Amino acid sequence: MAWVAERSPLHGLVFDGGAGFGSGGEDGLRTALELAWISARAVATGALIPGGAGGRLLFVAPRPEAGPFAQAARSALENLARTLVGRVGAL
């Protein structure tokens, strides 16, 4: 998380889920989702929440034809975004 502090102030994150997903499969799905969560948590807790002004997290999903489990990755990233909005709204 040191990389977040080195770049502060941050106002958001754009996460490219296609990069970690690669050509798909279970490993690609797992990698994309782990990287999404690690990145979102680092930016939120390292910059957005302490900064007090909030910010944006944008998750770009793999293309539907990107390979096996592409739709699962797309759905999971959407769910992550919806869950984070719900949690932030509850604070």
pLDDT (tens digit, 9 = 90+) per residue, 26-65? Answer: 999 999 999 999 999 999 888 888 888 878 899 999 999 9
pLDDT classification of 6: cutoffs 50, 70, 90: confident
Q: What pLDDT score was predicted for residue 91?
A: 44
pTM to 2 decimal places: 0.85
Interval 64-76 mean pLDDT? 95
Interval 12-38 mean pLDDT? 95
How many CA atoms lie within 13 Å of 66's alpha carbon, on the beta-carbon side?
24
Nearest Cα neighbor of 29 from 83, 81, 66 is 66
